[in-house]
Amino acid sequence: MKVHSKMNPPSSCGRIEHLGLNVVLQLLVGVPLEMVHGAARISFVYVAGVVAGSLAVSVADMTAPVVGSSGGVYALVSAHLANIVMNWSGMKCQFKLLRMAVALICMSFEFGRAVWLRFHPSAYPPCPHPSFMAHLGGVMVGITLGVIILRNYEQRLQDQTLWWIFLSIYVIFVLFAIFWNIFAYSLLDLKLPPPP
């Protein structure tokens, strides 16, 4: 497997609107999360989202490049949604439902645009459009790590059980993707196209 095709920096984006929406979502969601939970926790969720997005693309959409920070941004937004649900009764913000709706609308819009671009013919035929699977990898990591890492201010016994379930899901996903990248290409005789 060509490592360089899956290891683009998270700040490189294909189009200006993609970059713009990622920056806006990072600022609107990442800064408040960082103020509440600390920079270390939020940075870990973000970087884990970028890595999981790349792993998701390497498993499900092997011929597409990974571009941008969508995995990390979607991890932040999904962690934000998990945080709101986890701490629903303890949050004093009167706009919880509105915040969730805006986050879901932004995520749906960008994901729909990414799916459309992936299957729309490229203006530069040798260069395929970036994959949308990084978005889904980021969502999965954001929900699981959002429950695991972010603080739950009303922890009950059932929340501890949920914590272990989400930790197991996260570990299984990462291990599966890593083993897939190590063994699937030789076992299934898969060939990646050469980079453009």
70, 80, 129, 131: the active-site residue: 70
Residue 94 burial by Cβ neighbours in a 10 Å radius (0-12, 13-18, 19+) = exposed
Q: What is the sign, positive or negative, of the torsion defined by CA atoms of 172, 55, 30, 42?
A: positive
135 is catalytic: yes
18, 80, 129, 135: the active-site residue: 135
**One-letter identity of residue 190:** L
Q: How many CB atoms lie within 10 A of CB 38?
A: 14
d(Cα 57, Cα 74) in Å, to the nearest integer?
14
- Active-site positions read 70, 135
